[in-house]
Amino acid sequence: MTARLTAPNPQLNELGKLKHLLTLEGLKQHHLTEILDTAESFIDPNTNKIKKVPLLRGKSIMNLFFEPSTRTRTTFEIAEKRLSADIESLDIQTSATKKGESLLDTLWNLQAMQADMFVIRHAESGAAHFFAQHVAPHVHVLNAGDGQHAHPTQALLDMFTIRKKKGDVFDLKVAIVGDILHSRVVRSQIQALSILEAREIRVIGPKTLLPEHPEALGVHVYHDIEEGLKDVDVIIMVRLQNERMKSALIPSEKEFFKRYGLTEKRLALAKPDAIVMHPGPINRGVEIDSAVADGPQSVILEQVTYGIAVRMAVMSVIMSNAAQLAQHQAEQEQSALAEENAEMENPQ
């Protein structure tokens, strides 16, 4: 037996297809484009409406939100309903101290209620991984945001929005502005942009809100927003994650806006057809001016709508992969059985 050089990706099944979606890290371009292409087919090209289809009828999906959420939770719920799944949403506030055990107990209880898929939002990085390690083999886990680690469906819907507006992510210059340090969304966005081979990824923010070695992420770093926005095709603004800041990292919100807020004047430095994105919730007058958020270049609300189609796609692709794996296993069993029979008929 040969030793494995790399640990297997825990979110892929033995055919190399997505079983869970925990992070975009380590995924290949085809994993992402399969989801983005499938999302496309859920949107009626004439009305831009998202269809309801019977794809996951009879499947049970549980949304476990250990951390508050409006957009992600609601769009997940809508996506599940549009796929005709049976859904249950739980608000679970846990005490930080006895998380380990209580989390597992919660998991096993919910699994006993015959869930096929868990959608998990948790303040602790790695919570979704933890769940994925302990669920039964037929149960799937989707990360809806874990601590400062990852928010893969948000990054996927951002990529989908860019594709819809710009045709392709490839060859674009993308600037991400704001609190880079604390944002799980940014981490996932950078991974997605790299996997889809964006031409240039820039992060813009004060030193205190950037990780220690941002270059290691494969990005260009700017501390001056005016310099950083020059000639970009896409601007992604992210909010200050005040709840995750453990010390005073910025002088004040007013000061932050003065130095890093996206105004019409600054927007004019980007390409004339640049789009402005924001994963929400937006803080008007902190990281973005209302004139820009509500302006013609803003696609912030379209991101929300596309989030439904993209989440439908993630769930369908994962369920589809499970069906194909089962089919594959059945075929293998059958051929093994046939071989066995042949041997019995023709003993050597």
Partner 1 sequence: MQQLDIDVSALLETMSGQLNEKMAQRPNPKMIGIRTGGEWIGEALHQRLGLQEELGLIDISFYRDDFSRIGLNPQVKPAHIPWDIEDQHIILVDDVLYTGRTIRSALNEIFDYGRPASVTLVVLLDRKGCRELPFQADVVGMQLECQQTIKVTGPDPIEVTISEKAEVSA
Binding-site member from 12, 53, 249, 291 for partner 1 (CB under 8 A): 53
Going by C-alpha positions, the residue among 257, 158, 172 that lies closest to residue 206 is 257
Is residue 55 within the footprint of partner 1 (CB under 8 A)? yes
Give the contact letters, 233-272, x = binds to partner 1 (CB under 8 A), - = no: ----------------------------------------
Is residue 217 within the footprint of partner 1 (CB under 8 A)? no
Q: Where are the alpha helices (DSSP H) in 42-98?
A: 71-82
Tell me which of 17, 19, 121, 122 is the catalytic residue. 121
Backbone angles phi, psi at 117, to 5 degrees: -150, 140
Backbone angles phi, psi at 276, to 5 degrees: -110, 125
Residues 282, 263: Cα–Cα separation, whole Å: 14
Shortest Cβ 137–partner 1 spacing (Å): 16
With a CB cutoff of 8 Å and minimum separation 6, the contacts of 186 are 176, 180, 203, 236, 238
The length of the chain in residues reads 348
**Cα 295 versus chain centre, distance:** 26
Is residue 123 within the footprint of partner 1 (CB under 8 A)? no
**Catalytic-residue membership of 121:** yes
Is residue 64 within the footprint of partner 1 (CB under 8 A)? no
Binding-site member from 14, 28, 44, 343 for partner 1 (CB under 8 A): 44
**Catalytic-residue membership of 151:** yes
# residues contacting partner 1 (CB under 8 A): 25
Q: Specify the residue for token string 């494995």.
A: 4
**Catalytic-residue membership of 311:** no
Tell me which of 151, 182, 202, 311 is the catalytic residue. 151
248 vs 323 by CB, closer to partner 1: 323
Binding-site member from 10, 12, 26, 41 for partner 1 (CB under 8 A): 41
Shortest Cβ 34–partner 1 spacing (Å): 7
Most distant CA pair in the chain: distance in Å?
85
With a CB cutoff of 8 Å and minimum separation 6, the contacts of 126 are 146, 147, 149
Is residue 321 within the footprint of partner 1 (CB under 8 A)? yes
With a CB cutoff of 8 Å and minimum separation 6, the contacts of 125 are 146, 147, 148, 149, 184
With a CB cutoff of 8 Å and minimum separation 6, the contacts of 76 are 63, 119, 144, 153, 311
290 vs 324 by CB, closer to partner 1: 324
Q: Where are the alpha helices (DSSP H) in the chain?
A: 29-41, 71-82, 99-112, 127-134, 152-166, 184-195, 225-228, 253-260, 264-267, 290-293, 300-345
Site for partner 1 in 290-319 (CB under 8 A): 316-317, 319
Shortest Cβ 339–partner 1 spacing (Å): 17
With a CB cutoff of 8 Å and minimum separation 6, the contacts of 167 are none
Shortest Cβ 313–partner 1 spacing (Å): 10
Is residue 137 within the footprint of partner 1 (CB under 8 A)? no
**Catalytic-residue membership of 187:** no
Just list the catalytic residues.
71-72, 99, 121, 151
Residues contributing to the annotated binding site for carbamoyl phosphate:
71-72, 121, 151, 154, 280-281
Residues contributing to the annotated binding site:
71-72, 99, 121, 151, 154, 184, 239, 280-281
Report the interface residues with partner 1, using CB under 8 A.
34, 37-38, 40-46, 51-55, 316-317, 319-324, 326-327
